[in-house]
Amino acid sequence: MTENEQKPIKIINGRILRNHQLVENSYIWIDKEGKIMDGFHSFFDNQQGPEDVTVIDAKGAIISPGFIDLQINGSFGIDFSDYEGSEEKLAADIAIVAKGLLQNGCTAFCPTVVTSAPKVYSKVLPLLRHRPGDARKGAEILGAHCEGPFISTEKKGAHDQMVIQTAKEGIAALDKAYGPELLKGGETVRIMTVAPEIEGVLEVIPELIKRNITVSIGHSAATIDQAEQGVVAGATFMTHLFNAMRPFHQRDPGMVGILGASDLPEPLQPDRHPLPTSSTLYKRDPRPFYGVICDGVHVHPNSVRIAYYSHPRGCVLVTDALSAAGLPRGIYQLGGRDVEVRGVSGAYVKGTNTLAGSTVTIDHCVRNFKQFTRCTVIEALEAATLHPAQALGIQKTKGTLDPGADADLVFLDDDLHIQRVFVRGVEVELKNKTKV
């Protein structure tokens, strides 16, 4: 069925992820515009008969919101930091990734651009502006994740040290680095990773928030005090927890210590903080969300468990996938540098043991997370749906199956393997998948 022919849809016989539960004996209603609707009122208000509705039988499948990946550098041989070639060629490459991600249940993502020169941002960022998802054309682009250049040289990872800089000139330094697209705020740059200890960064965080940009702290040698200052200033996310940050120490746990900082002040942006736990006094948890690369290489399963047990509602699963994802082992590019894929999932700066990214897919991260932590199916799915949506403040339209949300859905079996994918109510044609 195409968008032009689409009737209201009623999905039956599914186990629906709704309000932190798997709900049976209920339905999902989708209107002609591809939005979840309140079935009772819509049906009777419009006086629709059975012939006016398309019924989809989920046959007992788990029905989840589509997965959201907040940190992905590329896939299928394509690097989002690549600026060589025509704009048409770069746009076509981005479309290839967006379309390919749907095969793994990823219906929305933040294409990530690593530390780069101004000429790269000026050419690439306009191509990464927000655009809606489409079942045929690809997953929704939520806006770019700019990871650097305002990061620590000590914790640069695979980033180019020659381009890393400070923010001593305030927001002007950022506008100069990223160019005019930064003035468009969250429409183009949805997330920015910065190191809170770098000169000038704490002062620019409130300015970025005014532009509707989610500020994340990462690639940082921050002490616990400096990390807490970043959160108090308005950072609501931590980039790939445990990676590219100081290791935990009992006297100064560094950024990892934020997991235990439930006594931080009340959040400035409560709608972009996790739901509360018994250890917090506020309507929202003052601790930020944190990304975890759950490939079994970047973070040991025991470390994933430590993070989960410390701050379960803050976990956001990310792939940090690079251009090699979906391809055989070999040499690929990340921000103009050679990276080598070897082992199960890891990609390393060529000739070193420095991790540069992964080749894991978001659905595999969900399955790994459940296996590593022994969490519930609900918690595993929410770490790739509701939590990333909350981190961006878009939980009314993404990461949920409540009325008014976009009808981005995945059907899964009990082992959390993808069976069917829908974008705005239109089914995606999957390759090598068995439809229920």
Q: How far apart are CA 242 and CA 240, in angstroms?
A: 6
Query: CB–CB of 256/241 below 8 Å?
Result: yes
Pairing verdict, β 106-114 and 144-147: parallel
Which candidate, 409, 404, 353, places its Cα nearest to that of 31? 404
* Residue tagged active-site, from 320, 363, 406, 408: 320
Pairing verdict, β 337-341 and 331-334: antiparallel
Neighbouring-strand partners of residue 238: 217, 290
Which amino acid, residue 151? I
Neighbouring-strand partners of residue 64: 410
177: Cβ–Cβ under 8 A, 6 or more apart, which residues?
118, 121, 149, 150, 165
**Residue 317: how many CB atoms within 10 A of its CB?**
30
Q: Which helix (H) or strand (E) holds 46?
A: helix 39-46
Neighbouring-strand partners of residue 134: 138
Tokens of 245: 């940050």
Q: How far apart are CA 287 and CA 397, in angstroms?
A: 23
320 catalytic, yes or no? yes
| Residues catalogued as catalytic | 320
